[in-house]
Amino acid sequence: MIEARGLEKRFGAHAALRGVDLRIAEGELFALIGPDGAGKTTFFRLVAGLLTPTAGTLRRAEGATFGLVPQRFSLYEDLTVDENLDLRARLYSVPSAEARARAAELLRRVGMAPFGARLAGALSGGMKQKLALVAALLTKPRLLLLDEPTTGVDPVSRREFWLVLNELHHEGLTIVVSTPYMDEAEYATRLGFLDEGKLLAVGTRDEVLAAFPRPILEVLSPDRNGVRRRLAGIDAVDDVSLFGTRLHLRGAAGTGTEILDSVRAGLTGLVPADGVRLVPPTLEDVFVLAGDEVET
């Protein structure tokens, strides 16, 4: 559906994409992840034909209709929710009866059913984003490009949105989506990790995680700050983050068992040995490590 070869895009002195090779097949649900400023939005704009490459090529399947939800969607703030959707349906020549039924169903699923008559300008931030999503899903293009579609959307609505996306995917749509939510990236058939204009990793989630070079530990303790202070003195640990009552630790190098031993030793008296264990890495670990390596 999409093929990028040596794709580059420069804006003046700034290189937003620096040689991207990527094929996305028909029917894939592909997730793009990466820090902000990595080039995700530029990639979407190139695919949508809103920009032309500085070098390299980008091809989209012949005649494939596509829809794009840009990161900052522009709605007509002086039109109501329903009017915005009507207008969108007419622009894309969706028959009005069909468009209306579909809009009603989609609005209901994201909890927006009561607000059809409200001016878009008077919607809350997340409601505007939901309207943008409904507008994009109204037309059923063959290719759907979604640039961080769920930013600002509440958790329960995010669940519903992904159920809808999954249905569309099953109907055969090709979907490319960028997201800062690592749980959402896991729904993709494949994902690409973009950083500073380069694709650092492409593959299934398992492939990407298998390539992660560091051991990860988890510590369970109600005294998170106490544990944090102790850990500061252990060189084998180079990153600590908090998740509720859990602490998530990254080993600097070496094998998992060595680090497990030194962390257990370092926390004696504070955390029992079985409160420290090795866990598999997550996509968030991949993310954070890449960022740390760029910074230093």
Ligand X SMILES: Nc1ncnc2c1ncn2[C@@H]1O[C@H](COP(=O)(O)OP(=O)(O)OP(=O)(O)O)[C@@H](O)[C@H]1O
**Residues interacting with ligand X, by CB under 6 A?**
118, 122-127
Q: Which residues of 38-70 are buried (b: 16+ CB within 10 A; e: fewer)?
A: bbbbbbbbbbbeebebeebebebeeeeebbbbb
Q: Can you spell out the DSSP letters for 3-21?
A: EEEEEEEEETTEEEEEEEE
Say whether residue 136 binds another protein (CB under 8 A): no
C-beta of 29 vs 112, nearer to ligand X: 112
Options 30, 43, 162, 193; binder of another protein; rule CB under 8 A:
162
Say whether residue 242 binds another protein (CB under 8 A): yes
Interface mask toward another protein for 169-188; x: CB under 8 A:
-----------x-xxxxxx-
- Which of the ranges 42-50, 100-108, 161-169, 251-259 carries the binding residues for another protein, by CB under 8 A? 161-169
Options 6, 15, 141, 151; binder of another protein; rule CB under 8 A:
151
- Which of the ranges 52-60, 96-104, 158-166, 251-259 carries the binding residues for another protein, by CB under 8 A? 158-166
| Least distance (Å) between residue 37 CB and ligand X | 24
d(CA 248, CA 149): 28
Instruction: For residue 58, give both structure tokens.
Output: 């980008």
| Least distance (Å) between residue 155 CB and ligand X | 11
SS3 for 231-278 is HCCCCCEEEEEEECCEEEEEECCCCHHHHHHHHHHHCCCCCCHHHEEE
Say whether residue 245 binds another protein (CB under 8 A): yes
Tally Cβ neighbours within 10 Å of residue 110: 23
